[in-house]
Homo-oligomer: A and B are copies of this chain.
């Protein structure tokens, strides 16, 4: 439980925050204008400018932990930076630290062969292309990931892939060049060894991006969340990562750092929502008093502060455990933050919306959009329910074996 910010981290925090203040926050309005004006599904100039600036300042690929390719930060060190970046929807991409690219790059670093690294990892690290991750499917309850039905069948030196994925975030963006597809390859294997991860170029014949899925009313263009159809898509056999039937093994490793990133971003967005809430509550007056002083608003502000602080400490502690005792021992803690962070962010943002009145649900403030994004995080990468069950089993494991719990 030592997650005090080291001098190195403190310096990076200041630089990242200064970059946010100087470049990212002011770019938000411009971004929405550029999306609204042209073809919403083309990348915006403003984001490319932000990326160039961040790269020039050396604030680039900070997420990558175990590699000379990144900044060499531990999870504990990167977490406070993810919080700051996450305080704007534009932040993560500006620093080339946005999902799903970060997780995909980590997978490529560990499991890609030289040719795959050259083809996909290097342009991803340079921020020239983007990538997608294809796991969730429309036809089954994806809360149980073993439900995945999309098939990859080996034919000679190739995989032949058929199936339908959705919530494939980023696949609508023309810069997206490759998808890590996860599907059923070994249906006769043990429950968690039936699925594999396979690299699929987005321009492979038979791969069709059917539509962007809106989240509440937001299409999140030009990134977007795609429904993707794969019909007889053929890719080389060596595109399978790590090995057949090892999809869940990769997924576990891939998700660990990603959970920290996501959760710290949720903390960051909650922190900024609280700031907006406080500012509005002192700037507007009703019944002769600033809103802050009316009714339960002190309580609401206090609760937000408390919940954000707790969510941050819990997440930092999970990062610290990942760094010190490893993902496996930290499994319960990682599941805990996955439940806590989005729910805290939702509560804080909802209260901020309420203080803002009609403005809160409109586009004049980012609150409603943030709320919608955070709401999806109670579903993405496993719904709250699945994570709580896993925390409970871990807890009960102190008193009874998993087998006995299951059999009784």
Chain A positions within 8 Å of B, measured between CB atoms, are: 1-5, 136, 138, 140-144, 147, 166-167, 213-219, 274-275, 278-279, 281-282, 284-287, 289-299, 301-303, 305-306, 309-311, 313-314, 316-317, 332-333, 336, 339-340, 353-354, 357-363, 368-369, 371-372, 375-376, 378-380, 383-385, 387-389, 391-393, 395-396, 398-400, 404-405, 408
A212 to chain B, nearest CB (A): 10
Q: Are A282 and B389 also in contact (CB < 8 A) when A142-B358, A214-B362 are? A: no
A387 to chain B, nearest CB (A): 8
Q: Considering only CB atoms, which chain B residue lies closest to A310 in the complex?
A: B310
The answer to whether B395 touches A274, judged by C-beta atoms less than 8 angstroms apart, is yes
Q: Are A286 and B143 also in contact (CB < 8 A) when A167-B358, A339-B302, A385-B296 are? A: yes
The answer to whether B358 touches A379, judged by C-beta atoms less than 8 angstroms apart, is yes
Chain B contacts for A5, CB-based, 8 A:
1
Of B285, B305, B340, the contact of A306 (CB 8 Å cutoff): B340
Chain B contacts for A302, CB-based, 8 A:
336, 339, 387-389, 391-392, 395
A166 to chain B, nearest CB (A): 7
The answer to whether B293 touches A405, judged by C-beta atoms less than 8 angstroms apart, is yes
> How far apart sit A353 and B353, CA to CA, in the bound complex (Å)?
20
Q: Point out which of A218, A291, A292, A358 has the most chain B C-beta atoms below 10 A from its C-beta.
A: A358
A311 to chain B, nearest CB (A): 8
> How far apart sit A166 and B278, CA to CA, in the bound complex (Å)?
23
Chain B contacts for A216, CB-based, 8 A:
216-218, 361, 368-369, 371-372
The answer to whether B301 touches A408, judged by C-beta atoms less than 8 angstroms apart, is no
A192 to chain B, nearest CB (A): 13
A363 to chain B, nearest CB (A): 5
Of B219, B285, B372, B392, the contact of A141 (CB 8 Å cutoff): B285
The answer to whether A298 touches B301, judged by C-beta atoms less than 8 angstroms apart, is no
The answer to whether B379 touches A361, judged by C-beta atoms less than 8 angstroms apart, is yes
Q: Considering only CB atoms, which chain B residue lies closest to A290 in the complex?
A: B408
Q: Considering only CB atoms, which chain B residue lies closest to A344 in the complex?
A: B310
> How far apart sit A364 and B151, CA to CA, in the bound complex (Å)?
24
Q: Point out which of A214, A333, A393 has the most chain B C-beta atoms below 10 A from its C-beta.
A: A214
A378 to chain B, nearest CB (A): 7
> How far apart sit A352 and B283, CA to CA, in the bound complex (Å)?
34
> How far apart sit A142 and B297, CA to CA, in the bound complex (Å)?
16
> How far apart sit A290 and B379, CA to CA, in the bound complex (Å)?
18
The answer to whether B214 touches A363, judged by C-beta atoms less than 8 angstroms apart, is yes
The answer to whether A388 touches B298, judged by C-beta atoms less than 8 angstroms apart, is yes
The answer to whether A385 touches B142, judged by C-beta atoms less than 8 angstroms apart, is no
The answer to whether A375 touches B361, judged by C-beta atoms less than 8 angstroms apart, is yes
A-B contact pairs, 5 of them (CB 8 A): A144-B286, A217-B369, A310-B313, A313-B313, A361-B372
Q: Considering only CB atoms, which chain B residue lies closest to A293 in the complex?
A: B405
The answer to whether B299 touches A385, judged by C-beta atoms less than 8 angstroms apart, is yes
Query: Other than the known A282-B396, A299-B385, what 20 A-B pairs have Cβ atoms closer than 8 Å?
Result: A141-B286, A143-B286, A213-B358, A215-B217, A215-B361, A216-B216, A216-B372, A217-B217, A278-B395, A278-B399, A296-B296, A302-B339, A306-B314, A306-B391, A309-B314, A310-B310, A353-B375, A361-B372, A361-B376, A361-B379
Chain B contacts for A282, CB-based, 8 A:
396, 399-400, 404-405, 408
> How far apart sit A83 and B219, CA to CA, in the bound complex (Å)?
31
Of B278, B290, B378, the contact of A398 (CB 8 Å cutoff): B278
A103 to chain B, nearest CB (A): 18
Q: Are A281 and B383 also in contact (CB < 8 A) when A296-B296, A361-B376 are? A: no
Q: Considering only CB atoms, which chain B residue lies closest to A339 in the complex?
A: B306
> How far apart sit A398 and B272, CA to CA, in the bound complex (Å)?
13
> How far apart sit A199 and B309, CA to CA, in the bound complex (Å)?
39
